[in-house]
Amino acid sequence: MEGRLARTEGDHLNAVYPFQKSPRCSATSKRSRKPCQAPAVKGWTVCRFHGARGGGPKGKRNGMYRHGLCTNEAIAERRLIRELLQRCSTAGIKLRFR
Ligand SMILES: [Zn+2]
């Protein structure tokens, strides 16, 4: 019975509803040190109280956008190039740039 209500006659106490099987928030309470246990937002590991879908607007919609050097895409591109160069140097391939 994956994600479906187990319909057994008169067994309402032991019935498992789909919302009970939904993924839970991975955050831990600062005060009680217990897990949040609220349902996580779809596509996130945390609930709406613990930072899901948060943050400022991306790219040019953000007021601090100047040149695009620090966008997630640019950072990922630099990371990829760096990894490629590191793999070349560990493999003993010498690259010459002019
Ligand atoms: Zn939470």
Q: Show pLDDT as tens, one digit a residue, over the chain (98 residues).
A: 455 555 556 778 888 888 889 999 999 988 999 999 999 999 999 999 998 988 888 889 989 899 999 989 999 999 999 999 999 999 998 888 87
Instruction: Tell me, in angstroms, the distance from the centre of ligand 1 to residue 27's CA.
Output: 5
Contacts of 13 (CB under 8 A, 6+ apart): none
* pLDDT of the residue at 67: 93
Instruction: Tell me, in angstroms, the distance from the centre of ligand 1 to residue 70's CA.
Output: 29
Burial 71-81 (b: 16+ CB within 10 A, else e): eeeeeeeeeee
Instruction: Tell me, in angstroms, the distance from the centre of ligand 1 to residue 30's CA.
Output: 11
* pLDDT of the residue at 24: 95
Instruction: Tell me, in angstroms, the distance from the centre of ligand 1 to residue 54's CA.
Output: 13
pTM for the predicted model, two decimal places: 0.49
Instruction: Tell me, in angstroms, the distance from the centre of ligand 1 to residue 64's CA.
Output: 29
